[in-house]
């Protein structure tokens, strides 16, 4: 999420929805703390990220890493710490996958991937399709920003001046929340865990299948079906209720270190 303030809201979702500006903030530990704990518990050797920005999420991982972002921010985090090899590509993720082979930089594929690129669902859909091709049986993919705090921040392009809620006026998740129902419909074989991670949730995906072509084969159909789908405040409440959101600490408690895998 872009420029999110600290969570100012207390109480459950029903209380939040009842206020003058309906809000559905996450209550669990922040996504950066979750990612750092994933590194501590999972002990990954290879990490892949789309959406480097200032390097905060990449700094959570002390292993060989590949980061892709068309506009790297003015990096304010020591994301090279603990890493023997770091590869940064200042290009769009579409261009990266069209021109590069991730196996060249992360032999055997990634152990953990974090997808936080362009906040429009079709971009994230393509990022997931392309990223899954480099998964192995123990890989985890995390999707960011799929539980928006309010409906306003899900607009396709941010228009802060038109927002009603002054607290989250500059926050923007876009419509990447659509990946949840898309994957539920088209990839029920995946194991999806939706984490109550502040500020706008994390979706953990396991059981990845690098041979699957279902999403790619149905891409045009998916876009046609989901382009016109929008979230109102009421629809957002129902969407969140349907997710079966899990406390991040419960998810983290179930993680075990990856066994050392030989590099091909």
**pTM confidence score:** 0.90
Residue 15 is predicted with a pLDDT of 42
Positive or negative, the Cα torsion across 162, 164, 167, 168?
negative
Local confidence band at 7 (pLDDT 50, 70, 90 cut-offs): very low
- The pLDDT tens digits for 130-185 are 999 999 999 999 999 999 988 888 888 877 777 777 767 778 788 999 999 999 99
Condensed to tens digits (0 to 9), the pLDDT of residues 12-64 reads: 444 454 457 788 889 999 999 999 999 999 999 999 999 999 999 999 999 99
Q: Where are the domains of the chain?
A: 13-253
As a whole number, the mean pLDDT across the chain is 89
Say if residue 262's pLDDT is above 80: no
User: What would the pLDDT profile of 188-238 be if each residue is shown by its tens digit?
Assistant: 999 999 999 999 999 999 999 999 999 999 999 999 999 999 988 889 999
Residues 6+ apart with CB under 8 A from 194: 146, 147, 180, 201, 202, 203, 204, 243, 244, 245, 246
CB burial readout 49-83, b (16+ within 10 A) else e: bbbbbebbbbbbbbbbbbbbbbeeeebebebbeeb
Q: Which CATH architecture has domain 13-253?
A: 3-Layer(aba) Sandwich (3.40)
């Amino acid at each position: 999420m872009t420029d999110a303030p600290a969570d100012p809201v207390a109480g459950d979702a029903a209380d939040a929805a009842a206020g003058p500006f309906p809000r559905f903030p996450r209550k669990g530990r922040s996504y950066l703390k979750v990612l750092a704990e994933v590194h501590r518990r999972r002990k990954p050797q290879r990490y892949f990220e789309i959406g480097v920005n200032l390097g905060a999420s990449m700094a959570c991982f002390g292993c060989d890493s590949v980061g892709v972002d068309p506009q790297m921010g003015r990096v304010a985090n020591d994301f090279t710490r603990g890493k023997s090899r770091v590869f940064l590509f200042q290009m769009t993720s579409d261009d990266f996958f069209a021109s590069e082979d991730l196996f060249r930089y992360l032999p055997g594929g990634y152990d953990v991937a974090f997808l936080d690129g362009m906040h429009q669902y079709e971009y994230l859909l393509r990022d997931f399709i392309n990223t899954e091709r480099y998964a192995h049986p123990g890989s985890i993919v995390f999707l960011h920003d799929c539980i928006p705090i309010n409906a306003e921040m899900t607009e396709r392009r941010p228009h802060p001046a038109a927002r009603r809620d002054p607290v989250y006026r500059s926050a923007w998740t876009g419509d990447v929340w659509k990946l949840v129902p898309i994957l539920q419909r088209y990839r029920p074989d995946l194991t999806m865990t939706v984490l109550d991670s502040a500020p706008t949730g994390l979706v953990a995906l396991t059981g990845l299948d690098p041979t699957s072509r279902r999403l790619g084969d149905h891409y045009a159909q998916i876009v046609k079906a989901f382009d016109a789908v929008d979230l109102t405040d009421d629809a957002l409440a129902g969407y969140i209720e349907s997710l079966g959101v899990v406390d991040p600490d419960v998810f983290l408690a179930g993680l075990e270190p990856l066994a050392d895998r030989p590099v091909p």
